[in-house]
């Protein structure tokens, strides 16, 4: 066997709790509006009351784990909704939450705060181009594709793997980022990833767990778990992040 590659022993992936952006998106979808009603920039969008309760439920669950199973390190997207989730979820663990911009939300470019209906109405040619290229490779004007996000995640794993060798690492990020983590960690194909994405929406404050294997890879142990939210009688929400593709 070759020399063991450094890296975390466990990785938990957490989507941020329900945000005011998620709420605004649900309202826009219900009314058929083309644009979300938000008066702050995307990095500053806060958690809803439900989102804070979801993050607190996660924190209780993590704190109740046996000491040798609890997270020993925490990393978060710098966006408000993710960082607040991380802080609430780890406040009883005595961990310092570090931020890394490579975990930020996918950049929607010109489509920021727009609904699918609004994009199709205002950018019909882009909607057609997205249909042609597919969700993984399509890049909105001035924004990022999922493939672009994959480059960020590969970079993060390469550097944070060294920093967090043998740690139990909890990572708080966004829906698309978590799906792309699956693509990278499991060496999925484009079609395999899109099939998973179509079948199951990543819930707010959900847990996805990976464990390190003997060959240096990561094995998926659980995906999109929400039992910790249900146990505290909190609402389980699955609203997509704002500005979905057309």
- From first to last of the 246 residues of the chain, give the pLDDT tens digit: 456 778 999 999 999 999 999 999 888 888 888 888 888 999 999 999 999 999 999 999 999 999 999 999 999 999 999 999 999 999 999 999 999 999 999 999 999 989 889 999 999 999 999 999 999 999 999 999 999 999 999 999 999 988 999 999 999 999 999 999 999 999 999 999 999 999 999 999 999 999 999 888 999 999 999 999 999 989 999 987 655 555
Contact between 63 and 93 (Cβ < 8 Å):
yes
Q: What's the burial of 76, exposed, middle or buried (CB within 10 Å: 0-12/13-18/19+)?
A: buried
Token couple for 171? 């990572």
Domains and CATH numbers, the chain: 10-231 (3.40.50.1240)
Q: Which residues contact 45 (CB under 8 A, 6 or more apart)?
A: 19, 20, 21, 38, 79, 80, 81, 242
Distances from the Cα of 21 to the Cα of 78, 91, 94, 162, angstroms: 16, 24, 29, 34
DSSP 35: B
This prediction has a pTM of 0.94
DSSP 191: H
């Amino acid at each position: 066997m070759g020399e063991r590659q450094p890296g975390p022993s466990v990785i938990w992936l957490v989507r941020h709790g329900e945000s005011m952006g998620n709420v605004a998106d649900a309202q826009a979808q219900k009314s058929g509006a083309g644009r979300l009603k938000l008066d702050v920039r995307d990095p500053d969008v806060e958690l809803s009351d439900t989102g804070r309760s979801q993050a607190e439920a996660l924190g209780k669950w993590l704190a109740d784990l046996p000491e040798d199973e609890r997270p020993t390190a925490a990393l978060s997207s710098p966006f408000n909704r993710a960082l607040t989730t991380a802080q609430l979820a780890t406040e009883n663990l005595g961990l310092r939450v570090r931020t890394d911009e490579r975990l930020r939300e996918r950049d929607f470019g010109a489509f920021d705060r727009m609904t699918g209906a609004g994009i199709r109405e205002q950018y019909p040619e882009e909607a057609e181009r997205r249909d042609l290229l597919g969700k993984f490779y399509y890049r909105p004007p001035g924004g990022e594709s999922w493939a672009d996000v994959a480059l960020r995640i590969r970079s993060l794993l390469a550097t944070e793997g060294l920093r967090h060798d043998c740690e139990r690492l909890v990572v708080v990020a966004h829906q698309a980022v978590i799906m792309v983590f699956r693509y990278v960690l499991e060496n999925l194909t484009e079609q395999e990833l899109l099939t998973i994405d179509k079948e199951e929406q990543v819930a707010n404050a959900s847990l996805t767990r990976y464990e390190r294997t003997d060959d240096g890879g990561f094995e998926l142990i659980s995906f999109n778990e929400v039992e910790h939210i249900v146990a505290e009688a909190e609402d389980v929400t699955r609203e997509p992040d704002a500005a979905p593709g057309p």
